Chain A
Amino acid sequence: MISMDVQKRLMGADGPMELDIQLQLEQGQFATLYGPSGAGKTSTLRVLAGLMKPDKGHVTVYGEPWFDAQKNIHRPPGERGIGFVFQDYALFPHMTILQNLQFALGKGQNSDIVNRLMEITALEGLRDRKPPELSGGQQQRVALARALVQQPKLLLLDEPLAALDLETRLTLQDYLFELHREFGLTTLLISHDVGEIMKLSGLVFQLADGRIAKKGPPGDIFLPKRVSGKFQFTGEVLKIEREEVVYVLTIRIQNTVVKVVAGEAEVRSLQVGDKVLVASKAFNPILYKL
């Protein structure tokens, strides 16, 4: 059980901001921090990791105090046993992939874990290459594997998949989920991608202006209550075309692109790039035997 209740004054892009976060995570949970830029998502992660020291409050993890302002406790990041994946991956450019993972080994730690992680993340073919020679998705896999070398209980990911193309992102989501289960991790992810959150996460904290505005299962956060359809997908509007009396919307759902017919009233509030929920009542599904 991870519990934090912290306050810190931050200098944001538009003036000072008060970070005031209370959150609890159960062991084994996969949770997501969601919200606009500057809402305090990264700061929350950094406070948990010990990279940022709050002004007030406490962070308690599995009964141990990691931070307590009153008792003046601040456990250094290196003693927290955290796996952290940075937005820019933070791979060491002068080391090979194998050396990057080996560097993360603790004193006297058995190096079998390195081989096992390379296997799971399919990095064996790249072991002697250096990070700058790798594609974004490959670098991300290295970052993920490296974060798990010390077999942390808690994995923190700062928008790890944001810079990748869709297909790579989907593959990496699978890796991430696989590793989360395999290592019995408690994972806290920052993500902007509703589809990704729905797929991976069991709990969402929606942040706004340094506070948690909403929390709950992703279904409750992102889906309007009144929808009763049996099929529902989130997607992104790619194109809006007018055809005679109706509009045809091209929508990307995960890695498929579909066309959906819409009326003028619906289209009026939409523009390209909007996130939409595509739902269908379950009375006329088309079934194919595979």
Chain B
Amino acid sequence: MMDWQPLLLTFELATVTTAFLLLLGIPLAYWLSVTRSRVKPLVETLVSMPLVLPPTVLGFYFLIAFSPGNAFGHWLNDWLGLKLVFSFGGLVLASVIYSLPFMVHPIQSGLSGLPASLGEAAGLMGKSRFTILRKVLLPNIKTSLLTGIVLSFAHTVGEFGVVLMIGGNIPGKTRVASIAIYDEVEALNYGAANFYSIVLFLITFCILLLVYLVNGGYLKKFWR
């Protein structure tokens, strides 16, 4: 009997992370697409850092920052009752930051690709920015939204370094599939490692395939 828990935990983490990313990514991408602020390059750089930084670097600093032995971690623990090291909450927060560019970039480029006149026309009708974003802009970048959601999800599924640093390997709490694979291989338990690996491979393959089929318009004939 195989242990499904690491896989379930992986997809739970990916789902929660993607949901938070959507809430955070849309306003951030919108702001980046309209702002002329001087801090824009700085924010863009910070958003993109997880693309180039080794995940272990990110994980290391999270570990230091969230550790209850340090001021910030102590404050979190005292005031919010949050213990972010070796906990699911900590994994979610780290994953949100780690996958941020995968959500923000597609949405930002989708929004920037829309003609400015769309938003301006709605603005001239006296609509609020929120209404314009919700009713005019977002419905016209559905493929970008889908890309952002799926890439963030898939990227979180594939996360290893950050989780290893900050989550540890607590079964049922932080032991996600990627960690479990590593673990099983170390224990020369190739059968179990293969099981986790093949499930991850198949599921992520199907998700990505679906995105390319949808964005490429191959599925249009089925719902028209």
Contacts and interface: CB of A to CB of B under 8 A. Distances in A.
B194 interface: no
Nearest to B125: A104
Interface string B101-124: 000000000000001011011111
Nearest to A100: B121
Given A88-B117, A90-B117, A92-B118, A78 B140 contact: no
Contacts of A79: 126
Contacts, number: 50
A82 interface: yes
Contact of A78 (B115, B118, B124, B139): B124
Interface in A26-76: 49, 51, 76
Contacts of A106: 125-126
A231 interface: no
A86 B126 contact: no
A92 B125 contact: no
A103 B125 contact: yes
A78 B135 CA distance: 16
Contacts of B139: 94
Contacts of A80: 124
A80 B126 CA distance: 9
A89 to B, nearest CB: 8
B123 A90 contact: no
Contacts of A150: 125-126
B136 interface: yes
B140 to A, nearest CB: 6
B40 interface: no
A84 interface: yes
A86 B8 CA distance: 51
A49 B118 CA distance: 15
A86 B140 contact: no
Contact of A94 (B117, B120, B125, B140): B140
A84 B124 CA distance: 8
B75 to A, nearest CB: 41
Contacts of B115: 88, 90
B135 A103 contact: yes
Contacts of A51: 120, 123-124
Interface in B123-178: 123-127, 135-136, 139-140
A76 B140 CA distance: 24
B125 A86 contact: no
A137 interface: no
13 contacts: A76-B123, A78-B123, A78-B125, A79-B126, A84-B120, A86-B117, A93-B140, A103-B122, A103-B136, A104-B125, A146-B121, A149-B125, A150-B126
Given A86-B120, A103-B136, A146-B121, 13 more contacts: A51-B120, A78-B124, A78-B126, A79-B126, A84-B124, A86-B117, A88-B115, A90-B115, A90-B117, A92-B122, A93-B140, A94-B139, A103-B135
3 closest residue pairs by CB, A with B: A78-B126, A90-B117, A90-B121
